[in-house]
Amino acid sequence: MEIIEYINWNPINKFNVWRGISIHIYSLMFIISFILGWYIMYHIYENDNINCKYLDPLLRYTFFGTLIGARLGQVVFYDLSYFSNHWIEAVLPIKENYHQTLFGIIKGYEFVGYRGLSSHGAALGILFTNFLYKKQFLKDKSFIWLCDRICIAISISSMFIRIGNFFNSEIIGKPCRFPWAVKFLQMDKEYGKIIPRHPTQLYESIVYLITFITLLIIYKKVKKLNNGLNSGIFFIFVWFSRFLIEFLKEPQGNEFIKFFNLNTGQCLSIPLFCFGIFLLIFSVL
């Protein structure tokens, strides 16, 4: 009888920093993604003769666009029914918990960070805040010029965020019997018995790494990159791959956007993919 060994995945998802203060691996990946993104944009600005004093506001605009957009996307697209009854958790990085005491059950709150961030919401938030950033600080450049460059940093940053999801054992895949299948030993009980599944977080992180390398090569080879070529490729690579990988994922939250047999992630990916096609066609005209 054939014996297939699977990956048993049960890592720590946080570690103590100092006197009871801990940091989650996901949060660390989030921080690394922004630091690395800033470093990449620093070299791009230097190469394009843009004053690097504009980098700090770019980081701020992108950070808040990512966080607010991703959180709102999660609340609206995936867990509206839950957050409508727990609105404070939608705004603050806390979660309700209950403690049994001598005087009865007392409701309290625990700091857990922002668990549940939508990449589609993040994409919309980044587009909006970077449009505001461009209007304020790069008035002599087009919005497409900025998008063609910042998508390089976003692609590699997205890879680290998906690795953070892997450490959290979240956004898990459907059952499979491939040799690289993973048993997420720390995953939630909502999916029942712990069995080998697709490591869809790693699938996406590989796509983002390939996207990053592709966009970086194009940036270095194309002398005047300001027509949407990189942005179009970014949207096509990221959202088409997301559309396909969604077939391998378990449902997330209380998805209510569905069309035929397509889930919420796929329905939201289609317009972003089409936008990428438009940008790519526009770039070659």
* Per-residue pLDDT tens digits for 254-282: 666 677 888 888 999 999 999 999 999 98
Report the predicted TM-score, pTM, of the whole model to 2 decimal places.
0.87
Residue 222: pLDDT band (50, 70, 90) is confident
Long-range contacts of residues 215-221, Cβ cutoff 8 Å, at least 24 apart: 215/151, 215/152, 215/155, 216/152, 219/44, 219/148, 219/149, 219/152
* Per-residue pLDDT tens digits for 87-100: 777 777 667 666 66
Whole-number Å distance between alpha carbons of 78 and 165: 17
